[in-house]
């Protein structure tokens, strides 16, 4: 029995020794990591943002008189020419006012003709001494009053005619209807906007970008834009306006770019992509998985080619991009950087570096 116990203990000790030997062997084995050799290149980054095409000038149209809308001849999206009729008010009331004003003018004209004849007769009689100066002056005053009344009546007639004309709303310029707020049968008041028109002429590409993007320095003042639906339709634009405020809801800043000679197919409201070339610089491009941290600052693991050990080196990041990071300082051409497996590394650890995709 005692012999059997000793055999079991011996076997257990042998197994433990084998396990320790195996662990030590694993610890001594270098860690396989993916690497990339550093190569600095001249890089000109691009800034790409989407936006919409808008008219530079907008105009709100309203009736100058009140009334009930009898006709609406255009709708949102319609292109209108200067002078085109857009809507009409029921003209009956203004027509009646015009007829009354015409009748008043006719009546006063008759009174003026009578006053003129009386004044002429009084002048002739006064020259012959057959009337008094008082009667002559009275006739002259009646003529003057009739003349004044006619002037006032003609002014009212002109106003009545204008009011009738104002029951027809015409476009003051060529453009596209972008908004309407009127329907047939609706009663409108003078000055209330019924249509908004985006004027033909200059076009802007309007963008909303985060404020941080404005810190980028442009290589040229020109922006290249193309339609999202048809990238072959292109144009050149230049910065025209930067909003001085940040939209509190979205945290963005509105930019307006003046489009040079916009193509006909670059219509109002068309989505466009705007591309700007930023100032170029010399950088090394590494996968984002290369990044580590040293004292809270960006760093990468560099492999010593003589000992195959790794150490952390601080780097300066020029730009973050999708799936890669651009390094501007902290590395030298030809150095070998660990690009995969960084989370398992420690300083002076031995590695088995493998370049490329093989690991």
pTM here is: 0.60
**Predicted local confidence at residue 131, as pLDDT:** 83
pLDDT value, residue 21: 45
- The whole-number pLDDT of residue 26 equals 45
pLDDT at position 153, please? Answer: 94
Q: How far apart are CA 326 and CA 45, in angstroms?
A: 10
Count of positions (residues) in the chain: 359
Contact 308, 350 (CB under 8 A): yes
Q: How far apart are alpha carbons 101 and 155 in whole angstroms?
A: 9
DSSP assignment letter at 217: P
What is the structure's pLDDT at 127?
84
Measure Cα distances from 62 to 65, 194, 283 in Å: 9, 5, 59
Q: What is the pLDDT of residue 213?
A: 77
Please name the residue that has the structure tokens 């009344």: 149
Q: Among 164, 163, 187, which residue's Cα sits nearest to residue 67?
A: 187
Specify the DSSP element, H or E, that contains 256.
strand 252-260
What is the distance, to the nearest Å, from the Cα of residue 14 to the centroid of all Cα atoms in its chain? Answer: 77
Q: Which pLDDT score is estimated for 356?
A: 65
> CA 156 to CA 299: how far, in whole Å?
85
Beta-ladder partners of 242: 255
Domains of the chain: residue spans and CATH = 29-44+281-355 (2.40.420.20), 47-55+201-277 (2.40.30.170), 60-90+167-199 (2.40.50.100), 92-165 (1.10.287.470)
Residue 102 confidence (pLDDT): 94
What pLDDT is attached to residue 14? 47
Q: Low-confidence residues of the chain, pLDDT below 50?
A: 1-10, 12-14, 16-26
**pLDDT in the model for residue 250:** 87
230, 246 Cβ separation under 8 angstroms: no
For residues 257 and 204, the answer to whether their CB atoms sit within 8 Å is yes
């Amino acid at each position: 029995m005692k012999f059997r116990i000793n055999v079991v203990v011996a076997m257990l000790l042998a197994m433990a020794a084998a396990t320790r030997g195996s662990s030590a062997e694993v610890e001594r084995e270098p860690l396989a990591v993916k690497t990339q050799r550093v190569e600095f290149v001249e890089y000109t980054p691009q800034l790409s943002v989407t936006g919409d095409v808008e008219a530079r000038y907008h105009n709100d149209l309203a009736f100058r008189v009140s009334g009930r809308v009898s006709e609406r001849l255009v709708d949102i999206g319609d292109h209108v020419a200067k002078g085109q009729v857009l809507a009409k008010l029921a003209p009956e009331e203004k027509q009646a006012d015009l007829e009354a004003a015409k009748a008043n003018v006719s009546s006063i004209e008759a009174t003026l003709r009578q006053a003129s004849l009386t004044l002429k007769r009084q002048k002739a009689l006064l020259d012959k001494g057959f009337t008094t100066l008082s009667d002559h002056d009275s006739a002259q005053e009646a003529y003057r009053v009739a003349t004044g009344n006619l002037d006032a009546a003609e002014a009212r007639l002109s106003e009545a005619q204008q009011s009738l004309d104002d029951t027809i709303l015409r476009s003051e310029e060529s453009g596209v209807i972008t908004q309407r707020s009127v329907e047939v049968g609706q009663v409108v008041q003078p000055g209330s906007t019924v249509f908004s028109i985006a004027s033909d002429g200059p076009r802007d590409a309007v963008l909303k970008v985060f404020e941080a993007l404005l810190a980028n320095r442009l290589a040229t003042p020109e922006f290249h834009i193309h339609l999202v639906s048809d990238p072959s339709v292109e144009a050149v634009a230049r910065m025209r306006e930067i909003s001085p405020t940040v939209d509190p809801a979205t945290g963005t800043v509105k930019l307006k770019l003046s489009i040079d000679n916009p193509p006909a197919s670059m219509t109002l409201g068309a989505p466009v992509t705007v591309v700007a070339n930023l100032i170029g610089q010399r950088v090394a491009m590494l996968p984002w998985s290369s990044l580590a941290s040293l004292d809270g600052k960006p760093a990468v693991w560099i492999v010593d080619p003589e000992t195959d050990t790794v150490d952390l080196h601080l780097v300066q990041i020029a730009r973050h991009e999708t799936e890669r990071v651009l390094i501007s300082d902290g590395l030298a051409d030809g150095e070998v950087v660990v690009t995969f497996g960084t989370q398992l590394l420690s300083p002076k650890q031995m590695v088995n570096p493998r370049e490329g995709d093989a690991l």
